[in-house]
C-alpha cells in the first residue's frame, strides 16, 4: 500500500478535490471507520464535510454513530450518510450474539476491556453512564468493523466516541485515533491518558488543545499529537461581491445557544449600540438550551426589531447569510466547568467569505484571528464588543482589507483540501504499519479468520 502524497495539495492549497483521481490509487485500498457520538448534528458540519472530502480522496468510509439524531434541519449532504450510517438500539439479539462471539473467542480480553472502561470512567456520571449505555452496541459495532476488514478507526471528539474507538482497538487490535476539538479535552480528563496511550495518534485542532493534552497526559504524549487545523471548503465559501456601503450594519452570529458561545454578551453589546444611536441589525442563527433565555433578554432590552432569532438553518442558507453580512461575531467565553472553544468553524467560514470577524481571545481562537483579519476582545466584555463593532462600522475600507486578508489566510492554512489530505496520510500510515504485522492485538489469527470461525 502506498502512502498518500500530499505535496500537490500543500503546494497549491486551493486545488479542487472534485474527483477521486486527485490522488490516483493511493487511497483506494484504505477502509476507514469513523465513530461519532451523534449523527446528524446540524452544528457539526466539520464532521459531515470531512466525510465528504475523504470520499473524494478515494477513501472508503463507514460511519458509526452511537445515537441517531432527528434534528429539525438536516443538511442535504447528510442524507446519504444517514442512510449509509450504522445505528443500533441499546440492546438486541444481534448485539448479544456479538458479545458471545468475543466472550467465546477470548473471554480474558473481553472482560479486561469492559473492566478498563468502567474503571477509567468511574467518578464522572456522564462518562460512566455512557459506558453502561453504549458498551453493548459498541461490541456489535466492533464485530461489524472486523467483518468489513476496516483498517483504521477514527473517533470524533475525545468523549464517548473515543472510548468506543478504544474498545474496538482492545477487542480486535485495529489501530484507532481520535480528534480532540475543545471541551472534550478541556473540561474533563477521564481516561484521556489511557486513550492517548492506546491510540496510534491524536489529532488536535489547535496548539491550545495540544498543550492541554500534554498537561494532562505528560510530555511523553507529544510524539503522538498532530496539530491539524480543521479546514473549510474554500471553493464553496467564496468571497462576497463588493457593494456600496450601507447605512445599516449587518451583524451575524452562527452558534448553538449554550453558555460557551456568549450570546448574552452579544445581545448586551447590541443594547449598547442602540443606546449610541448606531443603525444595525443582528441575526442569530442556531438553537440550543439557552435560546429561550436569550429571547427573553432580547425582549427585556427592547431589541426585538434589532436582534433577530433566525433558528437552525441548512449550510447553504448559512452561506447565503454570510455573503450578505458585514461582520461576523462570536462572543465566546470560558465556562466554570473549563469549557472553551477549539477554533470555531464559523469564524473560518466567515473569513473564507471575506467577512471581518469580532470575537474573544479564548481557547484556540488567537491561532486563527489576529488584527489583520478581525478584532479580539476580552471575554465577557460587552462594551468592548460594541466598541469593536462601531470601530469597524466607521471604517469600511479596513473591513474590506480584513476580509481579503482573512480569505487568504483560510485558503493557505485552514483549507479543507489540505487538512483532509493530512488526516488521510496519517490514516494510511497507520494502516500500512498494521499491514506489516506491527501492533496486532492477536498475531495468531487474522480478523477475517475470526469472523469465519465464530459467526455472530
Q: What pLDDT sits at residue 336?
A: 87
Rounded to 5°, the CA angle 413-206-386 comes to 85
Across the beta sheet with 327-330, the strand order is: 307-311, 280-285, 249-254, 327-330, 357-360, 374-377
Is residue 38 a contact partner of residue 65, using CB atoms and an 8 Å limit? yes
Which residue matches cell numbers 468489513? 148
Is residue 255 a contact partner of residue 328, using CB atoms and an 8 Å limit? no
Nearest to 265 by CA among 284, 245, 237, 243: 284
Q: What pLDDT sits at residue 24?
A: 37
Beta-bridge mates of residue 357: 328, 374
Q: What pLDDT sits at residue 313?
A: 95
Nearest to 318 by CA among 292, 273, 348: 348
| Separation between Cα atoms, residue 283 and residue 306, nearest integer Å | 8
| Separation between Cα atoms, residue 4 and residue 74, nearest integer Å | 32
Question: Which CATH topology does 7-231+415-453 take?
Answer: Rossmann fold (3.40.50)
Going by the DSSP 8-state scheme, the letter that residue 124 receives in this structure is: -
The set of long-range contacts for 211-219, using a CB threshold of 8 Å and a minimum separation of 24, is 212/185, 212/186, 213/180, 213/185, 216/185, 216/189, 216/192, 217/192, 217/193, 218/193
| Separation between Cα atoms, residue 359 and residue 345, nearest integer Å | 13
Q: What pLDDT sits at residue 243?
A: 61
Q: What pLDDT sits at residue 455?
A: 40
Q: What pLDDT sits at residue 443?
A: 28
Give start and end residues of each alpha helix (H) in 27-106: 45-56, 78-84, 93-105
H/E run at residue 7: helix 7-11
408: its cell numbers: 487568504
Q: What pLDDT sits at residue 432?
A: 85
Nearest to 246 by CA among 125, 408, 393, 46: 393
Helix (H, G, I), strand (E, B) or coil at 9: helix
Is residue 152 a contact partner of residue 447, using CB atoms and an 8 Å limit? no
Domain boundaries, the chain: 7-231+415-453, 249-412
| Separation between Cα atoms, residue 355 and residue 366, nearest integer Å | 17
Is residue 46 a contact partner of residue 341, using CB atoms and an 8 Å limit? no
| Separation between Cα atoms, residue 161 and residue 159, nearest integer Å | 6
CA-CA-CA-CA dihedral for 207, 212, 215, 216, to nearest 10:
-140
Is residue 213 a contact partner of residue 342, using CB atoms and an 8 Å limit? no
Going by the DSSP 8-state scheme, the letter that residue 241 receives in this structure is: P
pTM of the model: 0.86
Q: What pLDDT sits at residue 246?
A: 72
Is residue 291 a contact partner of residue 309, using CB atoms and an 8 Å limit? yes
Q: What pLDDT sits at residue 396?
A: 93
Q: What pLDDT sits at residue 29?
A: 66
Tens-binned pLDDT, residue by residue, of the chain (456 aa) = 333 433 343 333 433 333 333 443 444 569 999 999 999 998 889 999 999 999 999 999 999 999 999 988 999 999 999 999 999 999 999 999 999 999 999 999 999 999 999 999 998 898 899 999 999 999 999 999 999 999 999 999 988 999 999 999 999 999 999 999 877 787 777 899 999 999 999 999 999 999 999 999 999 999 999 999 999 999 999 887 776 667 899 999 999 999 999 999 999 999 999 999 999 999 999 999 999 999 999 999 999 999 999 999 999 999 999 999 999 999 999 998 888 888 999 999 999 999 999 999 999 999 999 999 999 999 999 999 999 999 999 999 999 999 999 999 999 999 999 999 999 999 999 988 877 655 433 323 333 333 333 344
| Separation between Cα atoms, residue 226 and residue 6, nearest integer Å | 16
The answer to whether domain 7-231+415-453 and domain 249-412 are alike in fold is yes
CATH number for region 249-412: 3.40.50.2000
Dihedral pair phi/psi, residue 415, rounded to 5°: -95, 130
Beta-bridge mates of residue 250: 281
| Separation between Cα atoms, residue 335 and residue 148, nearest integer Å | 42
Amino acid at each position: 500500500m502506498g502512502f498518500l502524497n500530499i505535496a500537490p495539495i500543500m503546494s497549491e492549497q486551493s486545488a479542487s478535490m472534485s474527483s477521486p483521481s486527485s490522488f490516483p490509487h493511493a487511497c483506494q485500498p484504505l477502509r476507514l471507520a469513523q465513530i461519532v457520538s451523534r449523527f446528524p448534528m446540524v452544528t457539526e458540519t466539520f464532521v459531515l464535510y470531512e466525510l465528504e472530502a475523504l470520499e473524494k480522496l478515494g477513501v472508503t468510509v463507514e460511519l458509526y454513530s452511537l445515537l441517531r439524531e432527528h434534528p429539525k434541519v438536516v443538511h442535504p449532504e447528510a442524507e446519504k450518510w444517514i442512510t449509509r450510517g450504522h445505528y443500533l438500539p441499546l440492546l438486541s439479539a444481534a448485539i448479544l450474539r456479538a458479545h458471545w462471539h468475543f466472550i467465546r473467542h477470548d473471554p480474558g480480553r473481553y472482560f479486561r476491556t469492559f473492566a478498563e472502561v468502567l474503571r477509567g470512567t468511574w467518578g464522572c456520571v456522564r462518562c460512566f453512564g455512557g459506558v453502561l449505555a453504549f458498551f453493548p452496541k459498541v461490541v456489535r459495532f466492533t464485530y461489524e468493523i472486523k467483518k468489513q476488514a476496516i483498517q483504521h478507526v477514527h473517533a470524533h471528539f475525545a468523549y464517548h466516541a473515543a472510548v468506543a474507538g478504544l474498545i474496538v482497538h482492545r477487542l480486535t487490535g485495529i489501530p484507532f485515533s481520535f480528534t480532540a476539538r475543545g471541551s472534550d479535552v478541556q473540561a474533563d480528563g477521564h481516561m484521556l491518558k489511557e486513550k492517548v496511550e492506546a491510540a496510534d495518534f491524536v489529532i488536535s485542532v489547535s496548539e491550545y488543545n495540544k498543550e492541554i493534552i500534554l498537561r494532562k497526559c505528560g510530555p511523553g504524549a507529544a510524539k503522538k499529537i498532530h496539530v491539524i487545523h480543521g479546514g473549510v471548503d474554500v471553493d464553496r465559501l467564496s468571497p462576497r461581491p463588493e457593494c456600496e456601503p450601507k447605512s445599516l450594519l449587518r451583524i451575524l452570529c452562527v452558534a448553538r445557544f449554550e453558555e460557551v458561545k456568549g450570546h448574552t454578551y452579544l445581545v448586551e453589546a447590541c443594547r449598547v449600540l442602540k443606546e449610541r444611536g448606531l443603525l444595525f441589525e443582528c441575526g442569530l442563527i442556531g438553537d440550543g438550551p439557552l435560546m429561550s433565555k436569550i429571547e427573553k433578554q432580547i425582549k427585556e432590552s427592547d431589541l426585538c426589531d434589532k436582534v433577530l432569532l433566525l433558528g437552525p438553518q441548512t449550510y447553504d442558507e448559512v452561506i447565503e447569510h454570510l455573503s450578505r453580512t458585514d461582520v461576523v461575531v462570536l462572543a465566546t467565553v470560558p465556562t466554570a466547568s473549563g469549557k472553551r472553544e477549539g477554533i470555531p468553524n464559523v469564524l473560518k467560514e466567515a473569513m473564507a467569505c471575506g467577512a471581518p470577524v469580532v470575537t474573544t481571545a479564548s481557547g484556540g481562537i488567537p491561532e486563527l484571528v489576529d488584527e489583520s483579519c478581525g478584532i479580539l476582545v476580552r471575554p465577557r466584555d460587552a462594551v468592548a464588543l460594541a466598541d469593536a463593532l462601531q470601530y469597524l462600522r466607521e471604517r469600511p475600507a479596513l473591513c474590506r482589507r480584513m476580509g481579503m486578508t482573512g480569505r487568504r489566510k483560510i485558503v493557505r492554512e485552514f483549507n479543507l483540501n489540505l487538512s483532509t489530505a493530512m488526516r488521510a496520510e496519517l490514516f494510511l500510515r497507520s494502516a500500512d504499519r498494521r499491514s506489516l504485522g506491527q501492533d496486532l492485538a492477536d498475531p495468531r489469527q487474522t480478523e477475517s479468520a475470526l469472523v469465519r470461525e465464530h459467526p455472530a
